[in-house]
Amino acid sequence: MALKHLIFQILACFIIVLAIVMPFSNAQLIIPTKNGLVSGKTIITNGRTQFTYRGIPYAQPPINELRFKPPVPVKSWNGVLNATQYQYSCPQRLPINFYIEPNSLASKTSEDCLYLNIFTSNPSSAGNMSVLVYIHGGGYDSGSGARWSGQILAANEGIVVVTINYRIGILGFMTSGEEDIAKRAILANNGLKDQSLALQWVKDNIENFGGNPDFITLAGNSAGGGSAIYHVVMPSSKGLFRGVISQSAPYGATLPFIQSRIAFPISLAVAKTSYQRFVSSANCTRNTTSLIVKCLQALTVQQLISLQIVQRSNNIALSFPVADASTIREALHTAIPAGRFHKVSIMMGTTLNDGYFGLLGLPNPGSIAQGIPRQGFIAITNNAFPFASQRVKLSIQYQYTNWSNFNSPISNRDQYGELFNDFVFAIPNEYYADQFSRYVPTFNYIFAHRTSGTYRPAYLKITHTMEVPYVFGYPVDNPAGFPTTFNAEEQELSRHMMSYWGNFVRNGVILSFTECVLAANILSIYIWEMFSLLVWPTRNINWRKNPTDLSSPITWPEYTQDTKKYLWIAPNFQVKNNFFATQAAFWNQYLPQLSIQATHSTMTPTNITTLQESHSSESTYMIATFVLAGISGIQLELGSSSCALIQLELGSSSCALAMITLQHQ
CB-based contact 415:401 (threshold 8 Å): yes
CB-based contact 109:90 (threshold 8 Å): yes
- Per-residue pLDDT tens for 560-599? 999 999 999 999 999 999 999 999 999 988 998 887 665 5
- Per-residue pLDDT tens for 11-54? 444 433 433 334 445 556 899 999 999 999 999 887 888 999 99
Q: Tell me, what's the pLDDT at 524? A: 44
In the chain, count of helices (H) and strands (E)?
20, 17
Three-state DSSP string of 436-474: HHCCCCEEEEEECCCCCECCCCHHHCCCCCCCHHHHCCC
Give the separation between CA 305 and CA 526, rounded to whole angstroms.
Answer: 51
CB-based contact 223:166 (threshold 8 Å): no
Contacts of 658 (CB under 8 A, 6+ apart): 360, 361, 362, 363, 364, 365, 627, 645, 646, 647, 648
Q: Locate the DSSP E strands across 363-453.
A: 442-447
> Angle at which helices 615-629 and 374-384 pack, to 10 degrees?
120
Q: Tell me, what's the pLDDT at 366? A: 79
Q: Tell me, what's the pLDDT at 615? A: 36
The CA angle 109-115-118, to the nearest 5 degrees, is: 125
Give this prediction's pTM.
0.84
Peptide bond into 265 cis (omega under 30): yes
Q: Work out whether strand 115-120 and strand 160-164 pair parallel, antiparallel, or are unpaired.
A: antiparallel
- Locate all alpha helices (DSSP H) within 96-183, ordered by sequence: 151-157, 169-173
Locate the domains of the chain by residue range: 2-268+323-354+426-577
Rounded to whole angstroms, what are the CA distances from 39 to 123, 171, 212, 238, 623?
12, 30, 20, 30, 44
Residues 205-222: b if buried by 16+ CB within 10 A, e if exposed:
bbbbbbbbebbbbbbbbb
Contacts of 525 (CB under 8 A, 6+ apart): 508, 543, 544
Q: Which residues pair with 81 in a beta bridge?
A: 38
Give the separation between CA 238 and CA 252, rounded to whole angstroms.
Answer: 23
Q: Which residues pair with 31 in a beta bridge?
A: 38
Give, for 308, the enclosing helix (H) or strand (E): helix 301-311
Amino acid at position 572, single letter: N
Sites in the chain below the pLDDT cut of 70 = 1-28, 97-100, 102, 125, 252-263, 507-545, 596-665
Q: Which residues pair with 660 in a beta bridge?
A: 644
C-alpha dihedral sign at 237, 241, 244, 245: negative
Q: Tell me, what's the pLDDT at 252? A: 67
Give the separation between CA 540 and CA 557, rounded to whole angstroms.
Answer: 18
Rounded to whole angstroms, what are the CA distances from 371 to 262, 360, 376, 380?
29, 12, 10, 13
CB-based contact 491:476 (threshold 8 Å): yes
Give the separation between CA 360 and CA 369, rounded to whole angstroms.
Answer: 10
From the centroid of its chain, how far is CA 16? 31
Give the separation between CA 154 and CA 122, rounded to whole angstroms.
Answer: 10
Q: For 123, which DSSP code? A: T
> Angle at which helices 390-399 and 591-599 pack, to 10 degrees?
160
Q: How would you class 530 by CB atoms within 10 Å of its CB: exposed for 0-12, middle for 13-18, buried for 19 or more?
A: exposed
C-alpha dihedral sign at 237, 272, 175, 429: negative
Q: Tell me, what's the pLDDT at 474? A: 97
Residue 520 CB coordination number (10 Å): 9
3-class DSSP assignment, residue 509: coil
Whether CATH 3.40.50.1820 fits 2-268+323-354+426-577: yes
Give the separation between CA 130 and CA 117, rounded to whole angstroms.
Answer: 16
